[in-house]
Amino acid sequence: MNRSHRTAAHAAFAWVLTFLAWHVVWVATGLRTPADVHHEGSAQVLADVFSGALLLMTAVGTVLPLALAQEWGRRIPHPLLLSAAWTGCALLGARGVAGVCDDIVRVTGLLPNGLTGLTTEQVTGTAHPSAWEIFASGWTDVLFVTGGLAFGLAAATYRPRVHSGTAVTR
């Protein structure tokens, strides 16, 4: 395992820890996330499935950089590790870039309701978000872009172990 790969995998893990800590900051400062309390029937089931999928992705995303960086991760088939890392790169990057673009078109007034067509009140829960809410939202988008880059770099530098060419004779 080369040094650049190990560094990239550890950077992805550091990003995970930062991302989890950022969620603590959100909760501690009283920032809201869209709530699914108003859903009923199949919409509630879909919201619950989505929440479960996010928890699963968080668990996998927390362990994945460690599996890429440490010897015990070599027991996991490398195509599985790589596909998970590239999937994380794509999902985090897409979420981040979309958020940054949405922020830019809102702030510049190009599209007052952003790329989604949602009003500021629909997105933030208030028609007049505080400076902290605006900063936290923008920082979250940048954090997602950074996560996509971190997982992409960890995937790009990963090299599965190649066994030496010694033949086993019986």
Residue 100 lies in a domain: yes
Could you list the residue range(s) of the whole structural domain that residue 23 is in?
3-157
Residue 162 lies in a domain: no
Residue 167 lies in a domain: no
Q: Structure pTM?
A: 0.84
Residue 46 lies in a domain: yes
Quote the number of domains for the chain: 1
Q: Has residue 105 got a pLDDT over 50?
A: yes
- pLDDT confidence tier of residue 87, bands split at 50, 70 and 90: very high
- Name the E strands within the chain: none
The b/e string for 111-139 (b: 16+ C-beta within 10 A; e otherwise) is eeebeeeeebeebbeeeebeeebeebbbe
Give the number of other Cβ atoms within 10 Å of residue 160's Cβ.
11
What pLDDT, on a 0 to 100 scale, did the predictor assign at position 64? 97
- Give the separation between CA 153 and CA 68, rounded to whole angstroms: 11
Residue 99 lies in a domain: yes
Q: Has residue 144 got a pLDDT over 80?
A: yes
Residue 166 lies in a domain: no
CA Rg value for the chain: 20
Residue 165 lies in a domain: no
Residue 81 lies in a domain: yes
Over residues 119-137, the mean pLDDT reads: 86
- pLDDT confidence tier of residue 162, bands split at 50, 70 and 90: low
